[in-house]
């Protein structure tokens, strides 16, 4: 599931597309989407992600393996995405993109950069009055450039993304996220996921909903800042009665496979 | 018993597979574990199934009716409350004990098959029945251990229980198979001895052989031998319902559908 | 209200017998007379495995952090602290985590989070 080769020879996996589009949260969503697509995990109405019991293992990438192992113990949809987004496997993916110069260390944009630029221009004009001011112009310009910051995705990275076409539902997740829409149709619907489940994913406050009518370019990380969800253990509630407090019945079950 | 004549083929509703249960074709009824539900806050999935007219039967695992302590009426009340909330025609639990000596086994332990134990069980069952709004069915459990000094066979024990309390029976054919493998009991003799006209419905479940012992895990495929015991039962009586129980390691939707179909095939084989 | 045949003596005898069995299965008590010792062992391990699985499911973070140590640690905890009648599985999971912390097996402080970049 790689993108076509760009002129610089860049090929992206669908997880990398997700990462470059909207950060580690999106890459985590993509890994989960691939597992859902392959029938390796299922999601319940309450958002509990569980591994489907199959004879083969099925995870193709390290991110998928991490997601699958989290699903095996069962976790809520947003927790699974979050746990993958913060994983060492994700760090490795990030590093790989850095090494390939598709990503760079970002610098936060200082909103005062415009002021600095104006200052540089003013200094330039003042230079006609007194030549000393010209000396200050390059300093002010460089300072303005510094303040302008730089995005995480490099030009090469942005170019590679241009070649991405959303060909299947997993790609749709990479490009638009589970919360996004393709041709006005929610991406979640393609997976049969209730909206209540995908809405568990926290979005950055200023995020515009990604839809295919937009450029579909870089957005915001879907597992955004301050995912303050309190961790709740397993989705199934187990309430009154102490006799059996696992999510499922412990009636009759003899300790899962042999007691060893 | 009203509403119990033909439940059909069903599956245990579990929150992990709630969407699967909703979407599976051929699910005639479901069973829920009573202890996992809140009376005022039923899961959306269960409400959906109720709206569709799918019978929902509560199944308890914690009454410990075979225990020496008098049955906890709070637990009975909860079970009754769930029954009313889902409009169930009956409820069920097991012939077992869970707690003793201040300890909790977390499991359904077999009771001694003695007159003493039967007397205590009968008293507990009668007390529970007096506090339940619907009839009670009791399920046979799988036993890895046998109590010394047993006076009755399992079939005789249950037959006497029914005789004295007028309760219903939930026959778990996987447990019959497990006991045949592990303690050498005879499923056919069991089926001979119990009053089949008091059969409420049947459980089928999977398990695995490990270390020379069969474990009733509810987390593996149903063995053909277990379907064989179901077949034996169906040749003697038409079961009002048969339910597939799975508690863990849920396979793909297709596999679950296949297991249900296999059960249905056995049941249908004996139709007139 | 009670069935005629149900004498308090019968309940007491049953209580003692069942308590003895659970004590053997859950708290390393002596094997009661008349039981197959091998089967007692199988049952003991099955019950432990079931309890362990439930605690793992209810507290996956603790299990993950302990990694391979989870199983031996849990087994040690379980025998020393059999579940009390009327307790809830969540309490069991929480008590195990506490026990680990007290034994120094679990760090009390959380590990530092990796800050990931946010796009502009």
Q: Which pair of tokens denotes residue B94?
A: 């097991």
Q: Please give the interface size between B and C, counted as residue pairs whose CB atoms are below 8 Å apart.
A: 106
The SS3 call for residue B30 is: strand
State the CB neighbour count (10 A cutoff) for residue A147: 18
pLDDT (tens digit, 0 to 9) for every residue of chain C, 120 residues total? Answer: 444 555 788 899 999 999 999 999 999 999 999 999 999 999 999 999 999 999 988 888 888 889 899 999 999 999 999 999 989 999 999 999 999 999 888 877 655 444 444 322
The confidence score (pLDDT) of residue A239 equals 31
Query: A111 at the C interface (CB within 8 A)?
Result: no
A35-86 confidence digits (pLDDT tens):
999 999 999 999 999 999 876 678 899 999 999 988 988 889 999 999 999 9
Most distant pair of Cα atoms in chain B: their distance: 52
Alpha carbon of residue A260 to chain centroid = 39
Residue A129 or residue B250, greater confidence: B250
pTM of the entire predicted model: 0.84
Give A54's DSSP letter: -
Contact across the interface for C48 and A259, Cβ inside 8 Å: yes
Residue A129 or residue B47, greater confidence: B47
> Under a CB-based contact definition with an 8 Å cutoff, are residues B140 and B216 in contact?
no
Measured distance CA(B81)–CA(B70) in Å, rounded: 20
Ranges A128-137, B158-167, C93-102: which has the least confidence? A128-137
The Cα of B234 is separated from the nearest Cα of chain C by a number of Å equal to 31
Option in A23, A105, A256 nearest C118 (CB): A23
Q: How confident is the model at residue A116 (pLDDT cuts 50, 70, 90)?
A: confident
Give A247's DSSP letter: S
Option in B107, B123, B149 nearest C2 (CB): B123
Q: Which pair of tokens denotes residue C96?
A: 């195990």
> Which chain B residues are closer than 8 Å to C33 by Cβ?
148
Give A107's DSSP letter: B
B116-156 confidence digits (pLDDT tens):
999 999 999 999 999 999 999 999 999 999 999 999 999 99
Query: A24 at the C interface (CB within 8 A)?
Result: yes
H/E stretch holding B105? strand B103-109
B12-29 confidence digits (pLDDT tens):
999 999 999 999 999 999
Give the list of residues 6+ apart from residue C76 with CB closer than 8 angstroms, or none. none
Option in A152, A245, A255 nearest C90 (CB): A245
pLDDT value at A216 more than 80:
no
The Cα of B104 is separated from the nearest Cα of chain C by a number of Å equal to 4
Query: What is each CA distance from B31 to A69, B54, B174, B248, in whole angstroms?
Result: 29, 10, 17, 15
Measured distance CA(B71)–CA(B76) in Å, rounded: 8
> Under a CB-based contact definition with an 8 Å cutoff, are residues A97 and A156 in contact?
no
Measured distance CA(C42)–CA(B212) in Å, rounded: 10
Q: What is the percent of chain A with per-residue pLDDT over 90, rounded to a whole number?
A: 42
Mean pLDDT of B99-109: 96
Measured distance CA(B216)–CA(B233) in Å, rounded: 19
> Under a CB-based contact definition with an 8 Å cutoff, are residues A44 and A235 in contact?
yes
């Amino acid at each position: 599931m790689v993108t076509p080769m760009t002129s610089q020879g860049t090929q992206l996996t669908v997880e990398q597309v997700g990462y470059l589009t909207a950060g580690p949260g999106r890459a985590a969503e993509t890994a989960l989407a691939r597992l859902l697509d392959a029938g390796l995990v299922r999601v319940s109405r309450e958002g509990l992600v569980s591994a489907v019991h199959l004879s083969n293992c099925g995870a193709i990438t390290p991110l998928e393996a991490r997601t699958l192992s989290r699903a095996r113990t069962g976790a809520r949809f947003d927790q699974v995405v979050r746990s993958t987004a913060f994983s060492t496997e994700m760090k490795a993916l990030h590093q790989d993109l850095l090494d390939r110069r598709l990503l760079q260390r970002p610098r936060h944009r200082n909103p005062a950069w415009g002021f600095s630029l104006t200052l540089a221009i003013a200094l330039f004009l003042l230079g006609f009055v007194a030549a000393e001011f010209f000396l200050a112009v390059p300093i002010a310009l460089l300072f303005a450039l510094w303040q302008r910051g730089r995005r995480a995705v490099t030009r090469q990275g942005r170019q590679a993304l241009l070649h991405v076409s959303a060909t299947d539902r997993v790609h749709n997740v990479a490009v638009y996220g589970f919360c996004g829409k393709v041709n006005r149709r929610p991406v979640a619907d393609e997976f049969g996921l209730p909206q209540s489940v995908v809405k568990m994913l926290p979005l950055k406050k200023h995020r515009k909903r990604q839809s295919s009518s937009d450029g579909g370019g870089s957005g915001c990380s879907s597992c955004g800042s301050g995912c303050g969800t309190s961790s709740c253990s397993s989705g199934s509630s187990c309430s009154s009665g102490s006799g059996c407090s696992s999510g499922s019945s412990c009636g009759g079950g003899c300790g899962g496979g042999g007691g060893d | 018993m009203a509403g119990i004549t033909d439940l059909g083929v069903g599956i245990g509703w579990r929150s992990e597979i709630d969407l699967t249960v909703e979407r599976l074709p051929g699910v005639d009824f479901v069973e829920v574990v009573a202890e996992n539900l809140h009376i005022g806050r039923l899961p959306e999935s269960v409400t959906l199934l109720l709206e569709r007219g799918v019978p929902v039967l509560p199944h308890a695992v914690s009454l410990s009716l075979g225990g020496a302590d008098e049955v906890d009426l709070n637990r009975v009340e909860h079970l009754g409350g769930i029954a009313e909330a889902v409009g169930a025609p009956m409820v069920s639990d097991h012939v077992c004990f869970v707690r003793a000596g201040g300890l909790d086994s977390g499991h359904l332990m077999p009771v001694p098959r003695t007159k003493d134990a039967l007397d205590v069980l009968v008293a507990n069952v009668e007390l529970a029945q007096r506090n339940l709004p619907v009839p009670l069915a009791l399920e046979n459990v799988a036993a890895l251990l046998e109590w010394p000094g047993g006076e009755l066979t399992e079939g005789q024990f249950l037959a006497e229980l029914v005789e004295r309390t007028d309760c219903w029976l939930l026959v778990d054919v996987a447990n019959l198979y497990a006991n045949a493998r592990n303690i050498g009991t005879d499923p056919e003799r069991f089926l001979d001895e119990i009053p089949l006209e008091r059969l409420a419905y049947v459980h089928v479940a999977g398990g695995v052989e490990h270390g020379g012992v069969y474990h009733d895990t509810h987390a593996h495929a149903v063995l053909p031998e277990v379907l064989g015991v179901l077949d034996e039962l169906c040749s003697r009586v038409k079961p009002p319902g048969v339910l597939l129980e799975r508690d863990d390691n849920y396979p793909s939707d297709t596999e679950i559908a296949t297991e249900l179909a296999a059960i249905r095939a056995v049941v249908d084989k004996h139709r007139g | 209200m009670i069935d005629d045949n149900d004498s308090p003596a019968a309940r007491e005898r049953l209580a003692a017998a069942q308590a003895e069995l659970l004590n053997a299965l859950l708290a390393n008590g002596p094997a009661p007379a008349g039981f197959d010792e091998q089967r007692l062992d199988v049952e003991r391990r099955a019950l432990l495995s079931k309890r362990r699985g439930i605690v793992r499911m209810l507290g996956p973070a603790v299990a993950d952090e302990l990694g391979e140590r989870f199983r031996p640690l849990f087994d040690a905890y379980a025998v020393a602290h059999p579940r009390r009648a009327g307790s809830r599985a969540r309490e069991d999971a929480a008590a195990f985590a506490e026990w680990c912390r007290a034994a120094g097996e679990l760090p009390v402080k959380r590990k530092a989070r990796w800050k990931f970049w946010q796009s502009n």
